[in-house]
Structure 1
């Protein structure tokens, strides 16, 4: 989640004002839990005591992960393409939330094993039929990685250019838990087993 600030730094005055405002609202102090902290942080990022979320942009980045071939998922890779179409047709929870909040919503397809038909909600940025199996070789080439990062930056720039108040990024793809854990393990220098448990519907060796 990325809030577009009025300036480059957090506005401490707006943040303090938002914190004071929370204390004046008709509710017990801290009753909204983490939501209060988010509202205060958002106020500081936007430079407004009362932050606004009138123009939200949601991008779900989707692709297949080659590691799925190693049996780490209970579902076949064809489900990724099916889920993208479900998102695009408004059948997923994020689609409903986007619709009710009047957010601009898109799915960015970076590459699936199953080909996808054109759809007005799906932005095609295909880098290949998913990534390679990281248990056997690098998941992506350096060029693919650069193109993927550029795609993400491009969607943020587009949202900023449309004067969005908030940019929300999500991702989906069969095998994504394993890929995310591999990245986290490498970046945090942690053993994979300390970062995750069984995935959805996965049992035994998977």
Structure 2
């Protein structure tokens, strides 16, 4: 579907009129949950997760049949400053690996029955170095947002978005700091495994970017000035999922920074999202706290490419299967407590 916007102001208009969860389906799922053959609350957070999912899908006994994972890839001008332990050409090399089925996300998507799509965004043209200029023009960020928007399969019933892009933990740290405050050191982590000198470079780059773009007034403008094409594409896909009432499992630090740009612009923009996992990137827990999200998993992952959220898909599938497939006390002929 062609994106319904061509300017950032039109994206802001969409964010001001977001659909909500279906209250009747939510209430019906909650009522069913208390009748299932288990002690009240015995499935813990799985119960709340399934009811949340039912509300967004608009059915009291939902099924997950068409999960979609999208990996977006982009290159960054700031990579030339030495913010990563890997060279920029690795982005394109990993895209080929995704396309040939050789990456971790390929295995995880197959394990949980998810369709995997990969979108490379103008890898031959990195974004501008945001210490010198805005990372993207308005036309460029709109193009990236539209790529994400259009990548969402309208028949999907769960969406997961991930990324690949050398230098993107640095742009995510800058974006998170711009949206939620704090010093660069609060947000900058080791990413691909930089040493202390590399960490100092990342902190300097973030500080310079924040100073240069201090007047960016909302999350979308901060995304334009400090983000990357793949980060904007994730934001566009998350926004499109909201309009389609497709629940979203957020991946790691970079994905959550993309989501944060939407939340900074519209505080309720992420009601259809759950945090899939807590990654090992140092400030992901701080970012999840800022988003008000509690992760489903914490496995020490720091790979990106949607891997942690893909694993959490199994948790969501289990939660929904229990809500919709378990017998009630009446159906099973079991005396309720």
TM class, shorter-length: 0.7 to 0.9
One of 161, 164, 182 as aligned partner of 1:169: 161
1:61 aligns with 2:72: yes
Q: 1:140 aligns with which of 136, 140, 151?
A: 136
Match of 1:149? 145
SS at match of 1:111: coil
Cα gap change, 1:52/1:135 in structure 2, threshold over 3 Å: closer, same or farther? Answer: same
Displacement of 1:21: 4.6
1:185 equivalent to 2:162? Answer no
1:111 maps to 122
SS of structure 2 residue aligned to 1:152:
helix
1:67, 1:17 → 2: CA distance?
50
**Alignment partner for residue 193 of structure 2, among 180, 197, 201?**
201
Deviations 1:49-98 (A, max 9, x none): 23222112221110111111111111111111111111111122221222
- Structure 1: which 5+ runs fail to align? 1-7, 114-128
Query: Kindly tell me: are residues 19 and 194 of structure 1, through their superposed partners in 2, closer, same or farther at Cα, counting changes over 3 Å?
Result: farther
1:29–1:167 CA distance, 2 compared to 1 (3 A): same
Q: RMSD between aligned alpha carbons? A: 2.2
Distance 1:27 1:60 in 2: 40
1:36 deviates by 4.0
SS at match of 2:182: coil
Structure 1 residue 99 and structure 2 residue 110: aligned? yes
Instruction: Tell me the secondary structure at the aligned position of residue 205 of structure 1.
Output: helix
Bigger drift between 73-82 and 129-138 goes to 129-138
| Counterpart in the other structure of 2:41 | 29
Would the aligned equivalents of 2:76 and 2:167 in 1 still touch at CA under 8 Å? yes
Counterpart in the other structure of 2:291: none
With the length of structure 1 as denominator, give the TM-score of the two structures: 0.76
Structure with more relative contact order (C-alpha pairs < 8 Å, separation 6 or more): 1
Matched, 1:85 2:81: no
The aligned length equals 179
Q: Which has the higher helix share?
A: 2
Stretch of structure 1 that moved more, 39-48 or 19-28: 19-28
Q: Could you tell me whether the CA contact under 8 Å between 2:106 and 2:116 is conserved in 1? A: yes
Distance 2:77 2:116 in 1: 27
C-alpha displacement at 1:201, in angstroms? Answer: 1.1
CA–CA distance in structure 1, aligned partners of residues 145 and 137 of structure 2: 12
Contact 1:64 1:80 in 2 (8 A): yes
22-31 vs 65-74, which moves further: 22-31
